Every structure is written in structure tokens, then in C-alpha cells.
Amino acid sequence: MKAVVIGAGLGGLAAALRLQGQGHDVTVIEARDKPGGRAYQLRDGGFTWDTGPSLITMPWVLEDAFAAGGMDFHSEVTLRRLDPMYRIYWSSETESFDFYDDRDKLRAEIAKFSAKDAAQLEPFLAALKPIYEHGILAAGRKPFLSARDFAGLLPTMLRLDAARPLYSFVSRFFEHPRVREAFSFHSLFIGGDPYRVPAIYGALVYLQVMDGGWYADGGVYSLVEAMARPLDVRCGEGVERIEHSAGRVTGVVTRGGERLPADLVISNADVLRTHELVGRSAPRRKLVPTMSAFLLYLGTRERFPQLLHHTLMVSSNYREFITAVTRGKELPTSYSTYIHAPNRTEPGMAAGEGDSIAVLLPVPNLRADIDWKTASDELRDALIADFERTFGLTGLSASISVEHRMTPVDFQRELGAVSGNAFALEPTLQQSAYFRQPNRDRQLRGLYFVGGGTHPGAGIPGVLMGAEVTADLVAADHGLRPRMGAGR
């Protein structure tokens, strides 16, 4: 069958690979100049930055996606285990926390803050294990097409205490505020407020301890390049609309006016724009997008030894910061950031003796009343001054030789992200599983979804597992056998 995938984000590419593996004739249409979506890459002055995702988890999900497209992941991409995965600095603490997948080392890190909490690591992981198995491994890989599917999962989640807020769940085990933060911030990776998302997202901590955190040589973009290689990906051609007749898709029309007939359309575009693409009125139930992000990509002349491959810098009023960026209407006044310095693992990612630094600061999305024309420069200067003053990156400002940035306006303009969201739909209980955008459209036959906005959600493993769910639905709907990878 002829299939068109709208968008070459990681989810779109993974769905295309799987459909091609099933024997469909697949074309991917991407609006930007190159594939990747949020997983884009910038190069300038000898520096290379992954603009979005940088930490790879659950590598077996990647192996699976490649295998389903007839490729051997390890012949295409070289992964390196990060040890530790990241370091956390708090402005209010002299101690830092290194997150390891080795349980003894992790326990020793907790003990730097509280011996009592260190003894709680095993009970904590034991409580997360079934949440990971039921919530991620099982529920993350099946479609939630009916409310009954969701109702079936709920009693298990309630029994495992996975519906209570993540921070509160973590606080059942750990007492020290820093330890609680170190084991709950992970939902921010997918745009979720740790004080509000259900503890099902605690599974993100568990999977890091189980499977480690990884770096791909060449950056995350090497995954994109490898996935795009066997596919027909046409870049620089946005899809303007999805055509349909008698309740079934018939093709897509590009912004340039070209019509591509298709039996199957898989949309990797922002799910909040689906009604615009198919020409129906906006849904009555409004799904809520996540916060946005302000990103700085810096090339420096010197190296900053405080930075590991991944580093988190947490401000003293962290909780107010999270509230401000997820629900506030103004810029936060303190900054908690995530920093990627890939040249710690792959020196060629930076020029000379310098660092290649990508800084991620969560910020309110465009629903907030922030004028990014003026805010962008002010925020950039304040952030760099804060790194120098609070976190000891003395001389950072003077050391910068190349610089780029991305604001919520760029998320909207470049990626078509509604309200400039950075991570698609908020991962709340009311927007999970059945209540999220389903992987198969409820009205039009032949229309499917993939990416951060559909089930199971954002993050590299999330969108890749979503591609599996979607491709399996296509196979089931068309009497084809899915080409499965090794799986778990």
C-alpha cells in the first residue's frame, strides 16, 4: 500500500521504517530542510550541537525499531555508556549528586545526603519495578483505543500507588529534599511537572538504573541519519492538508500544491493541529501542550571542568521554578537548567580546547504573555551571569566564540509546535493512554498518528514505542504481519 508519513521526527522515521519493513511503499514528507524534528543538529565553527534530545535510554527500543525496518542497529550506530549519566548541582548545596546505573555507586551518592535514605534505594526500586513493567513495557506498547482498555489498567496503577503525584510517591521513600528532587525530576525530560504527573512516570528513573544512559557517536543525530538512510524522505515540503473521501484518507497535498495519493497517512505533525490538516472543527476537549524551552548552543574557547557530559544546575527555589514554567505567565526569576557537553565523550564535537555546550532552560509556552523579541537577549544574559555567579562557570561569557539559540517562537515556527510546546502534550493522568491522542484516528480510516503527542508519549523511547503501536495497528487493520524486533 502507498503510505505517506507527515514529518521526519524520530517517531515519523521509526513508523516509516516499520511500515517499509511491512512491505508498504513509504514516502516521508518533512517541512524542514533536513530530518530529525526536535532531534535536529547544528554545526558552526567546529562545534556540533544536538539541538534537542541528548540522553539515550532504553537502547533496546532502538534496536527493535531498526530491526523492524530490516536494519542492524549496532552496524549503524556506536553507543557509549555514560558513567555517571549526569551530575546534579544545587545552588544551595556544597555536595553534588552523580547519578549512576550501578546501585552501589548510586547508594553512595544518596548517602552523601542521608544514610537513612541510602537504605531506601532498594525498596524504592522494588516499588518501581512493577510500575515499569505494567506502565511502560506493557501499557506503553499497546493501543488504548477504548475507555475500557484504560479502565483495565487503572486498578493495577492504583494498587501500585502509581496514580499519586510522582514527587509524593518518591517522598514515601526518601526524606532529604535533594534526594527527593534527584529521583523525581525525570518527568521534566518529557515536559511533566514532577509535583503533578502520576508516579507512573517514576518508571523513567527505574529504566535509567536498569538500562543505563547512553551517548551515540556523532550525537543523537547519528540515529536520525541512520534511520533516514533507507527511506524516501523529502525535505523542505510541508504538508498543507490531508485529503479524504467517504471517511477514508486518499492522500496529502503539500504547501507547494503537489498531491500525493496515499492509502495510509501517518501524521508526525503536532497532534493539536490534526483538525487543521483534515479540515474539521477543533475538538471540544482541548488537550494541553507542555511548557516550552529556551535553548542556548555555545561554543567556548576554554573548557569548564564543572561540566560533565550531562549536568543539571538546580536553583534554590526549584519548586516555584517548576510552577512558574509549567503554569506561570512570566519568565522564572531563578534558573534550573540541563546542560549537554558531548565533547566530554567525543572530543570532536567541540573545536580546539573548548566546550560544545547546549543549555536547556524550561520556560512557559506561548500562552504566557512574554515578548520573546526583547526577552530572548535579557534571558540569555541573565542565564550566563547565573552560571558564572551561582555555579562557578567563571569566564563563560568571555569564552564564548560561537552561539545560537532557540526560543518558544522557534518551536512554533520551525516545528509547527502549537503554543511553542517543547514536549508535545502534558503527560498528566487526564492526557494519558485512552485520553491522549489515539494512535489511530477515531473518524477517518487510514489515518494514524505517531510522535510525542500520541500514546505512549514523548522522549526517544516513547516515540519509538509509539511507532511500534501505530505500525502494529496498521498491520492488524490491513491483514499484514508486523515485522517485530527482539523486544522484551
Positions touching ligand FAD (CB under 6 A) are 6-12, 29-32, 37-39, 52-55, 189, 238-239, 268-269, 293, 295, 360, 415-416, 422-424, 451-452, 458-460, 463
Choice between 117 and 212, CB closer to ligand FAD: 212
Nearer to ligand FAD by Cβ, of 118 and 379: the residue is 379
Least distance from C-beta 475 to ligand FAD, angstroms? 20
Widest CA span in the chain: 66
What is the number of alpha carbons within 13 Å of residue 122 lying toward its C-beta? 2
Residues 6+ apart with CB under 8 A from 158: none
Q: How far apart are CA 198 and CA 178, in angstroms?
A: 20
* Strands 2-6 and 232-235, sheet pairing: unpaired
Question: Shortest gap between Cβ of 159 and ligand FAD (angstroms)?
Answer: 28
The candidate with the shortest Cα–Cα distance to 76, out of 179, 193, 180, 230, is 230
Distance CA 427, CA 261 (A): 34
Shortest-Cβ-distance residue relative to ligand FAD:
9
Distance of closest approach, residue 185 Cβ to ligand FAD, in angstroms: 13
Contact indicator for 127, 161 with CB cutoff of 8 Å: yes
Shortest distance in whole angstroms from residue 141 CB to ligand FAD: 16
Minimum CB separation of residue 39 from ligand FAD in Å reads 5
Compute, in degrees rounded to 10, the torsion defined by CA atoms 216, 220, 225, 230: 80
Q: Which is nearer to ligand FAD, 56 or 368 (CB)?
A: 56
CA neighbor of 131 nearest in space, from 208, 212, 211, 206:
206
Minimum Å gap between C-beta 311 and ligand FAD is: 13
Of the two residues 6 and 179, which places its CB atom closer to ligand FAD in the complex? 6
**Closest CB to ligand FAD among residues 230, 238:** 238
- Determine the 3-state secondary structure of 361 from DSSP: strand
CA distance 243 to 303: 53
Of 300 and 407, which CB lies nearer to ligand FAD in the complex structure? 407
User: Closer to ligand FAD at the Cβ: 234 or 367?
Assistant: 234
Give the shortest CB-101-to-ligand FAD separation in angstroms: 15
H-helix segments, 48-92: 59-68, 73-76
